[in-house]
Structure 1
Amino acid sequence: MTNHLHKNDLPDGLDFGRAVAIDTETQGLSLVRDKLCLVQLSSGDGDAHIVQMDRNAYDAPNLKALLLNQDVTKIFHFGRFDVAIMQRDLGVDTHNIFCTKIASGLVRTYTDRHGLKDICKELLGVDLSKQQQSSDWAADELTDAQLSYAASDVLYLHQLRTILTARLVREGRLDVAQSCFDFLNTRCRLDLLGWNDVDIFSHRMRRPD
């Protein structure tokens, strides 16, 4: 496994094939307060490409072109946050999405544990370390431990997608999963506009107490 660190954008000519796993790191989990720091990507070959963003410009034409490319499937875990933060800071919608957390929620109905660590442990026998989860991702120089943690969030998503897709087919829920993936950009726009805690489909649109 090799981690490739890139400053500000992906290099020219980098080809991830027909599917790319993507994750992000920010200073926190607020779509109002916290900026995008890293974007991690993998083609599923065991290598990770980590883009350390310029938080003053977000001028990343190669990364943006990849996100917009409808011929490439983008695999996320909890894409709702990653897609939203890239909508906000990169100014682009991400097309052709598969979210392993949504897929897990639709087929692993025997549990309420749908975090990446839980899914990797059950489905792949991989025990992910979350030691660097709370970390200064805006640092000018990232440690090897930070890079390894960031990479681990994308290295297994291709395998999870394969397993979860088979289960979606088995349970007859692939169509509803695809509808959820297609709706994700709209869900993210609602989050960014302030409807993150409001169910607009409910008869009574109340915020939770």
Structure 2
Amino acid sequence: MTVYFHEGDLPDDLDLGPSVAVDSETMGLRYHRDPLCVVQLSAGDGDAHVVRLRRPAYDCSNLKALMADRGVLKIFHFGRFDIAMMQLYLGVETGPVYCTKIASKLARTYTDRHGLKDVTRELAGVDLSKAQQSSDWGADVLTQAQLDYAASDVLYLHAVKDKLDMMLAREGRTELAKACFDFLPTRSRLDLEGWEEMDIFAHA
């Protein structure tokens, strides 16, 4: 495994292929208070690319183009949050997308454990460490421990997706999952517009 660190943006000549695992790190979990700091990506080849974004300019044209590229599938775990943060801070609508958390909830109905750590342990046989999850991602210098943590969140998503795809097909829920993934950028926009806590589809 190699973790490549990039300051500000992805390199001009980097090709991550037809599908890329994506995650982000922020200063917290509140959209308009806590800025987007880091985006990490993997092509599923055992390597990871960690981009520390330049704030507040977010002058990352290559990263923005990749997120908006309709020819590249972006694989997230709980993509609802990451997609919203990229809409807010990068000004792009990410797509097409796949969310392993949504897929897990549709396919792994025998459990209520759908966090990345639980899903990765069961489906990829890897026990992730979450020790750096709440560290300072806005720091001027990221530690090696932070870089390794960021990388671990994307390194196994392709393998997890492959297992979930088989389970979704087995349960006859592939098309349902795809419809949920297609709606996800809209769900993220609803969050940003103030409907984060409200189910607009509910009768009440």
Residue in structure 2 matched with residue 122 of structure 1 by the alignment: 122
User: TM-score by structure 2 length?
Assistant: 0.99
Cα distance in 1, alignment partners of residues 203 and 109 from structure 2: 26
Aligned with 1:194: secondary structure? Answer: helix
Shift of 1:199: 0.6
Q: Deviations over 1:87-139 (max 9, x none)?
A: 00000000111100000000100111100000111112211000111100000
Q: Which residue of 1 aligns with 2:53?
A: 53
- For 1:51, what is the secondary structure of its paired residue? strand
- Looking at structure 2, the residues matched to 75 and 110 of structure 1 have their Cα atoms a distance apart, in angstroms, of 23
Letter in 2 for 1:176: L
SS of residue matched to 1:29: coil
Alignment partners' CA distance in 2, 1:195 and 1:173: 27
Structure 2: any 5+ residue segments left out of the alignment?
Answer: none
Residue in 1 aligned with 2:131?
Answer: 131
In the alignment, what sits opposite 1:112? 112
Q: Do structure 1's residue 9 and structure 2's residue 9 form an aligned pair?
A: yes
Q: Distance in 1 between matches of 2:166 and 2:11?
A: 34
Tell me whether 1:90 sits opposite 2:107 in the alignment.
no
**Residue 192 of structure 2: aligned partner:** 192
Q: Which residue of 2 aligns with 1:207?
A: none
- Secondary structure of residue in 2 paired with 1:41: strand
What is the 5 A alignment of 1:142-153? 142-153=142-153
2:96 and 2:168 mapped to 1: Cα distance? 17
Matched residue type, 1:146: Q
Matched AA of 2:65: A
Backbone CA RMSD of aligned residues: 0.6
Could you give the per-residue CA deviations for residues 131-186 of structure 1, whole angstroms, max 9, x where no partner exists? 11110000010100000000000000000110001111111100010000000010
| Inter-partner Cα distance in structure 2 for 1:16 and 1:100 | 19
The one-letter amino acid paired with 2:172 is G
Once residues 203 and 104 of structure 2 are traced to their aligned partners in structure 1, the CA distance between those partners, rounded to angstroms, is 28
Give the secondary-structure state (helix, strand or coil) at the position aligned to 1:37.
strand
Cα deviation 1:55-88 (Å, max 9, x = unaligned): 1101111001101111111000000000000000
Q: Distance in 1 between matches of 2:35 and 2:76?
A: 19
Consecutive unaligned residues in structure 1, runs of 5 or more: 205-209
Alpha-carbon separation, structure 2, partners of 1:68 and 1:125: 32
User: Paired residues, what number?
Assistant: 204
Secondary structure at the counterpart of residue 195 of structure 2: coil
CA distance in 2, matches of 1:87, 1:157: 22
TM normalised by structure 1 equals 0.96
